[in-house]
């Protein structure tokens, strides 16, 4: 069986080309196009400093129908004022003309350095070149995935098949993100960026698609942090071509929601794994907190602690940093009722340390996957957050990013 990819769901083509936005010869302009206007939903950053393509994209996806997505990397088109919004609309107009749709059926995205106007001569030439190369092969999917990357060191993708009423359906996605990762995404608003694009062949109402995407995002992309820096450009967009089975019955909605959640969690995990300078993913599971909100606050507090992240990089089982981070993250946290495990090894229980072999546990922490499990013992709230360690390489990347 052929490997599933972004264009495996029927009704989609894509392309990615080098237009010269980035100084390297890597692709930096991409198109993802449906063969007809289809159900679509998107969630965007809640940062009050919002990039021009997000402003335009919110308006265009509001009706729940899209035909195309146009993306550039190397320039975020953020903090660029009225000219930035004009340029984002120009990207949409050229894409619409190239694929034969309305301007409002195109969602624009940009990622890269903040505060610089887009090089529109290169962008417009790139959109024309990408439109001429649209196709539905795996190679086209890979080219699009390459075109959205900035400081990423690898492509990030996920795909799967599921069954609706005895008919096969497919869902697939690609994303980018390595630094400036602390998404706070919402269906309505409140450099490097988190971008994700998901395709499926099911037929589904836009209102239902919007609700399911918001739920899936909350448990995946909103649960990943590299440096907790909420970007100006964060975007997740889902398009449903309608070539496959209809999603209407309650059991089918549940099946689709499960498949969507799995794809989003996989992509979120890959972002954490490719965090700038990262050597490992650290998964923080908080269980039995007083409420779900408390569990989330505790998990995120631990994940964002520079001291915890440095300890993870050094394979140091320094449980005190984790417990203290939990303590300042939620007033409901009670150390006397809590149990902390690192890689399954109890290190702290009910207010006191648990004897353990530090050397042996340090070796177990020298893994590309580390599990931090905190049982708060005072409720039923649970949450999971994915992060990575903090290394010297992260500092080098971000110290040199602009210069």
Q: What is the pLDDT of residue 317?
A: 97
Do 190 and 74 share a structural domain? yes
Domain boundary pick from 268, 289, 304 = 268
Q: What is the pLDDT of residue 400?
A: 67
The pTM of the full predicted model, rounded to 2 decimals, is: 0.89
Do 164 and 228 share a structural domain? yes
DSSP per-residue letters across 318-330: -HHHHHHHHHHH-
pLDDT band at 47 (very low <50, low <70, confident <90, very high): confident
Q: How far apart are CA 153 and CA 113, in angstroms?
A: 17
Q: What is the pLDDT of residue 25?
A: 87
Q: How far apart are CA 222 and CA 203, in angstroms?
A: 26
193 catalytic, yes or no? yes
Q: What is the pLDDT of residue 272?
A: 87
Do 327 and 392 share a structural domain? yes
Average pLDDT over residues 261-279: 90
Domain that holds residue 85: 12-268
**Per the domain annotation, does 49 fall within a domain?**
yes
**Per the domain annotation, does 4 fall within a domain?**
no
pLDDT band at 188 (very low <50, low <70, confident <90, very high): very low
How many domains are there within the chain? 2
* Stretch (H or E) spanning 132: helix 120-132
pLDDT band at 307 (very low <50, low <70, confident <90, very high): very high
Q: What is the pLDDT of residue 232?
A: 86
pLDDT band at 403 (very low <50, low <70, confident <90, very high): very low
Average pLDDT over residues 148-169: 93
Burial 220-257 (b: 16+ CB within 10 A, else e): bbbbbbbbbbbbbbbbbbbbbbbbbbebeeeebbebbb
pLDDT band at 351 (very low <50, low <70, confident <90, very high): very high
Average pLDDT over residues 221-241: 87
**Per the domain annotation, does 275 fall within a domain?**
no
Q: Which one of 193, 199, 384, 387 is the catalytic residue?
A: 193
Do 305 and 199 share a structural domain? no
Burial 105-114 (b: 16+ CB within 10 A, else e): bbbbbbbbbb
Q: How far apart are CA 299 and CA 293, in angstroms?
A: 10
Do 129 and 34 share a structural domain? yes
Do 109 and 41 share a structural domain? yes
User: Which domain CATH number covers 359?
Assistant: 3.10.20.340
Do 370 and 260 share a structural domain? no
Q: What is the pLDDT of residue 119?
A: 97
Domain boundary pick from 203, 238, 268 = 268
**Per the domain annotation, does 127 fall within a domain?**
yes
Tens digits of residue pLDDT in 309-342 = 999 999 999 999 999 999 999 889 999 999 999 9
User: Which domain CATH number covers 121?
Assistant: 3.60.70.12
Do 173 and 38 share a structural domain? yes
**Per the domain annotation, does 1 fall within a domain?**
no
For residue 187, give both structure tokens: 């269906």
Whether residue 185 has pLDDT greater than 70: no
Q: What is the pLDDT of residue 178?
A: 65
Chain mean pLDDT for the chain: 92
């Amino acid at each position: 069986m052929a490997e599933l990819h972004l264009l495996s769901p029927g009704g989609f083509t894509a392309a990615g080309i080098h237009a010269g936005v980035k100084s390297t010869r890597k692709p930096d302009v991409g198109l993802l196009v449906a063969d007809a206007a289809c159900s679509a939903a998107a969630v965007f950053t809640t940062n009050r400093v919002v990039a021009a393509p997000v402003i335009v994209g919110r308006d265009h996806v509001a009706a729940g129908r899209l035909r195309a997505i146009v993306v550039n990397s190397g320039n975020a088109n953020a903090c660029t004022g009225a000219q930035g919004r004009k340029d984002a609309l120009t990207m949409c107009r050229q894409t619409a003309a190239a694929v034969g749709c309305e301007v409002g059926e195109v969602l624009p995205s940009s990622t890269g350095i903040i505060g610089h106007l887009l090089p529109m001569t290169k962008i417009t030439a790139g959109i024309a070149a990408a439109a001429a190369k649209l196709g539905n092969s795996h190679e086209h999917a890979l080219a699009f995935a390459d075109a959205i990357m900035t400081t990423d060191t690898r492509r990030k993708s996920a795909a799967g098949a599921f069954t609706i009423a005895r008919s096969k359906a497919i869902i697939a996605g690609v994303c980018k993100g390595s630094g400036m990762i602390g998404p706070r995404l919402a269906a309505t608003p409140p450099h490097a960026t988190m971008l994700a694009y998901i395709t499926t062949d099911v037929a589904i109402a836009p209102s239902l698609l919007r609700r399911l995407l918001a739920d899936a995002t909350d448990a995946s992309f909103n649960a990943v942090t590299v440096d907790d820096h909420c970007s100006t450009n964060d975007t997740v967009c889902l398009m449903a071509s309608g070539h496959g089975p209809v999603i209407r019955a309650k059991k089918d909605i549940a099946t689709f929601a499960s498949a969507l959640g799995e794809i989003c969690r996989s992509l979120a995990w890959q972002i954490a794994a490719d965090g700038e300078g990262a050597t490992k993913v650290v998964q923080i599971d908080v269980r039995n907190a007083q409420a779900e909100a408390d569990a989330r606050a505790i998990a995120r507090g631990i994940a964002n602690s520079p001291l915890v992240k440095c300890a993870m990089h050094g394979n140091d089982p320094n449980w005190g940093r984790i417990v203290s981070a939990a303590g300042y993250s939620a007033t409901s946290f009670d150390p006397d009722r809590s149990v902390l495990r690192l890689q399954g090894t109890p290190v702290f229980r009910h207010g006191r340390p648990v004897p353990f072999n530090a050397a042996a546990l340090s070796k177990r922490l020298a893994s590309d996957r580390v599990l931090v499990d905190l049982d708060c013992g005072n409720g039923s709230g649970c949450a999971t957050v994915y992060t990575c360690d903090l290394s010297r390489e992260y500092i080098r990347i971000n110290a040199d990013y602009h210069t």
